[in-house]
Amino acid sequence: MSVKNAIIQCMRQLQSYRPFFISEDDLKFSLATELRDRLRRSNIFLEFPMCFPSQTNKIYIDIMIEEGGQFYPIELKWKTMPFPHSGSCNFHSKIAMSLPLEDHSCQTSFRALFYSDIGKIEHIKRSNCFPWGQGYAIFFTNVHACWSSQRQTKCRLDEGHTIKEQYHKDKQYTIDGQYISQWEFYSCVGGGGDGETFKYLTIEIT
């Protein structure tokens, strides 16, 4: 099974029993566990450290897969808003309403971090320290404004937008390639209003 297909199947499997995640670490661990079950001959690392001669500090990759002698980096972003108290009474809604999810809204700074992840994967793939396969950046959120075009002017992620090099607050987010935002439905907790629908965006970096 290819790593790409494994990620797709893992997210579909997680949909069946984990309609949301309470933190980025929760998402990271859950995805890594599912990947391990599907890629049994692979090595899967969390917080994989890397050093480059031009940098004084290590960088860390959220999930690194070694499969068939090639390395596949995965970076994750989890950004949320608090669940609205919609009065819905299903089991997962009751759990969700009790969780104090952080309010990231759809701030440009958080979208910029995802742009940074894409550039980070492009950067490490240009190095010759490992034989590289594809890389993946995944953004998971229940903030409707992230996949809609409302109020997005910088570091846009709305459906159908082309992700490419961007400037924000005098900082350059260097991205060599161009990638199309194509969001996937993940789950609906409650009535499906803003904050109750989760989607995720997967960018493949070849």
pLDDT score at 177:
93
Residues forming a β-bridge with 146: none
**C-alpha dist (Å) from residue 33 to 23, 75, 118, 183:** 15, 15, 23, 23
Quickly state the pLDDT bin for 61 (edges 50, 70, 90).
very high
Domain assignment of residue 42, given as a range: 3-205
Spatial CA neighbour of 58 closest among 115, 125, 120: 120
Query: Are the beta carbons of 148 and 199 closer than 8 angstroms?
Result: no
Residue 2: what residue type?
S
Number of domains in the chain: 1
C-alpha 180/C-alpha 182 separation (Å) is: 6
C-alpha 39/C-alpha 138 separation (Å) is: 19
pLDDT score at 8:
96
C-alpha 27/C-alpha 84 separation (Å) is: 21
3-state secondary structure 149-187: CCCCCCCCCCCCCEECCEEECCEEECCCCCEECCEEEEE
Backbone angles phi, psi at 24, to 5 degrees: -65, -35
pLDDT score at 151:
67
Q: Is the pTM of this model over 0.85?
A: yes
Spatial CA neighbour of 112 closest among 159, 143, 152: 152
Quickly state the pLDDT bin for 34 (edges 50, 70, 90).
very high
Quickly state the pLDDT bin for 29 (edges 50, 70, 90).
very high
Least confident range from 97-111, 146-160, 165-179, 180-194: namely 97-111
pLDDT score at 172:
74
Hey, CA dihedral for 172, 106, 152, 185, is it positive or negative? positive
Quickly state the pLDDT bin for 168 (edges 50, 70, 90).
low
Summarised one tens digit per residue, pLDDT across range 81-137 is: 877 655 444 545 555 555 656 666 657 778 889 999 999 999 999 988 899 999 999
